[in-house]
Chains A and B, each alone.
Chain A
Amino acid sequence: MPKARSRVSACPHLPPTSCGTIFLLLGTLTWTTVTLWVSRGWTMGTRDSTSQVQSRDFDPIAQHRVRLQALDTQTLDCGAPNKLRCTRGSVEASKIHRGCLENSAEPRAMRIAVIGAGVIGLSTALCIHDRFHALVPQLQLEVYADRFTPHTTSDGAAGLWQPYLSDHGNLQETLWNKETFEHLLGYLNLPEAKEMGLFLISGYNLFKQPVPDPSWKNIVLGFRNLTPKELELFPGYSYGWFNTALMLECRSYLPWLTNRLAQRGVKFFHRKVESFEEMFSQGIDVVINCTGIRAGELQPDPALQPARGQVIKVLAPWVKHFIITHDMESGIYSSPYIIPGSELTVLGGIYQQGNWNEENSAQDHKSIWERCCRLLPTLQKAEIVQEWSGLRPARPSVRLERESIGHGRLRTEVIHNYGHGGFGITIHWGCAMATARLLGNVLQEKQSQSRLSAAAICQTAEFPPSWPRATYPKEVLENMD
């Protein structure tokens, strides 16, 4: 497999003719390598979808012939008995064949880079692999991040599945939340739920006055209002909800996702990506941007702001319910909350917009401790084990969209999936699936592009005007929306 992949887009600054010469030379090198392979008698054989793209046997001439035959045309060649040296004898003719091969899409790796290894990055990578690996065998998935578990924002979160109180009419986000909940429910009755850090938990949402029911009341289990007797437990609160929801602890979930990805041959790269261009210059075809709070470093986004949180993790195994209080004036998560995990109980209630400080604050510690102990006096006996601060990647809405970077043949694709605020775990799978759908569109378009350019280059009268849509198996085409 040639390592040097010659593309016009890789050298935008050189004039075309020099470019052409370079590529002619590289192309010749390519051909030489290829014929050496062919001469060793390797055949195309059947595709083993679990093997790495680099190790696949590659017989471009045989593939080319098969493809032409599939067009149901006469067996076709440009008249050259030896494809290495086209009898048309010109640079253009060589380009034709090279173009035919390069743009017949299938043999070349399709490199997708996910940037970010928090809950969003890893779950999106897994969703993409699930959806496309068998159908697009040349898919090569890579994950790039400068922070991996347990050092991501996701790791600090308690892991409770619960959206904000109101979706502000953003039905798309409500749907993604629902898809996530239902996806996780499917794993609940498997023993590996424990490895995932997934379990059911019941608890209380408390208010100082009646409030409308939330958008997620029918997603969680057993949603109901609190009885007067229950409210006696929480002096100062006069209204509330009880429901059963899910916990998904990222300290377990991220390693679980990482293991699944690694088993499937997804490669991990521990480094900071400085720009999208850096990725494309290395031959990445599509970038999936799951960089969370630091997305602004890759592309400025004033809508993305930190919402700083701090939590105290204590040993309080007698606490079996989550308790989340709400102060409608001070805003979400600025009122005390208590969330019991599988080992530690998380105490919180800090939400500071615009604060980039990832250091723990003594003042916030005091505020959390006092307010939570007032809420649940028995916590005073709890041993403090850990303290953590993190920056929720807050945005008026999640940025989940495609963006084309560059123009013409230099055009490359970024799919953004960031800005999940304090509900990343809650919404992650719905967003992963939506991102995968967008990737499907991108893949389909790339395939169309390659058909068009192949058709443009391989122009002979024998070719039918329309190229059949058979380059990708039909299952892939049906899944692309």
Chain B
Amino acid sequence: MAAPRVAVVGAGLIGLSTALRIAEVNPSCCSITLLSEQFSPNTTSDVAAGMLIPHTYPGTPIHVQKQWFKETFTYLFAISNSDEASEAGIHLVSGWQIFKNPSEAEVPFWSDIVLGFRPMSAAELQKFPQHSHGQAFTTLKCDCPPYLLWLEKRLKANGVQIHTRKVTDLWELHREYDIVVNCVGIGARQLVGDQQLFPIRGQVLKVHAPWVKNFIRDGDGLTYIYPGIDSVTLGGTREKESWCLSPDPGTTKDIFDRCCSLEPSLQRAQDIRVKVGLRPSRSCVRLQREVLSQGGAKLLVVHNYGHGSGGFSVHRGTAEEAAHLVGECIAVLQGSSSKAKL
């Protein structure tokens, strides 16, 4: 049979990294096309800071999440250490996660994957008089758009076709493609009607404050300062079920004040830009195969969406699993085609 035609829908972090992994794992046995309505810098991924600090999915076993994080960290660590690091937007950053409540300061499952994880010393905590405990470590940051653009470049080098297209129904692709990989993020609510998927709205500020070299994250997850290549991301909010993509000025001031209380020099920050993203949240990432059929026609689907606030931390691991599922789909197709020959 002809090489299976694979379409990846979605050009955020998950779509791009999944398409790349499929191309790497199945080099010549399928053709891959990437379809998306939005591209960088207009994806949800572009709003995120891209910090490798995992989110815990209640619906996924910890060892699986740990594996995903480890694969992602190892992959990005190698890039950060190569001469492609600056183009890919991947860099190491050290800093602190601080807690007001000692009970929150447990050692997380990922502490041995990031670098140099240890409790903060009393001297370090003096910088944060309102917090009583903290953890210091070094992790990686993926700056977007650079990382997404770098992924797009790698895709093209791997022969992946990229088209701008709004897909309103996966079935519309059944004639042109054999396998569809669904990486549409928050769009899955509409596209496949997944009611378990819901937005958690995040508003952030991106500011020019190049003297800030360390990250600071409040353990409550609401206030954070993440220094990137050309800007520092100040956050944030976690508003469940809010679909509003417009920046809220009151929220902007609140974020700024909260961050300035952790890092007073931010009062001198310039060039403040406000962004909003809808985290595609779910109790667990939907990583599974599905077969759509109408009449005699079939479409094999691999879902890879619902990463919530943890997309960057696990993207390579879930891309790996999705590529594996695509491999299974290819095997199914080849099996049925050989059956057809008999």
Contact = CB atoms under 8 A, between A and B. Distances in A.
Interface string A185-196: 100111101110
Interface in B74-104: 80-87, 89, 91-95
A51 B255 CA distance: 45
A223 to B, nearest CB: 9
> Main SS of chain A's interface residues?
mixed
A342 B116 contact: no
B213 A340 contact: yes
Interface in B159-192: none
Given A222-B120, A224-B118, A194 B265 contact: yes
A318 B213 contact: no
A227 B210 contact: no
Interface string A293-324: 00000000000000000000000111111000
Candidate in B83, B136, B211, B212 with the most chain A CB atoms within 10 angstroms: B211
Given A191-B268, A194-B265, A381-B83, A318 B89 contact: yes
B210 A191 contact: no
A60 to B, nearest CB: 50
A232 B78 CA distance: 10
Contact of A381 (B87, B136, B230, B265): B87
Contact of B92 (A320, A381, A382): A320
B264 interface: yes
A200 B81 CA distance: 23
A188 B212 CA distance: 12
A194 B260 CA distance: 13
A244 B211 contact: no
Interface string A376-398: 01101110000000000000000
A319 to B, nearest CB: 7
Contact of A224 (B81, B86, B116, B264): B116
A319 B229 CA distance: 8
Given A189-B264, A199-B265, A320-B91, A381 B86 contact: yes
A200 B213 contact: yes
B52 to A, nearest CB: 14
Contacts of B116: 224, 226-227, 230, 242
Contact of A202 (B143, B213, B268): B213
B196 interface: no
Nearest to B121: A222
B138 interface: yes
Contacts of B267: 191
Contacts of B227: 320
B29 interface: no
A232 to B, nearest CB: 8
A226 B116 CA distance: 7
A221 B83 contact: no
A221 B127 CA distance: 11
Contacts of A318: 85-86, 89, 91, 143, 229
B213 A230 contact: no
Contacts of B83: 377-378, 380-381
A188 B127 contact: yes
B292 interface: no
5 contacts: A190-B265, A221-B124, A222-B120, A321-B94, A378-B80
Interface of A: 185, 188-191, 193-195, 197, 199-202, 221-222, 224, 226-227, 229-230, 232-233, 242, 244, 247, 316-321, 340, 342-343, 377-378, 380-382
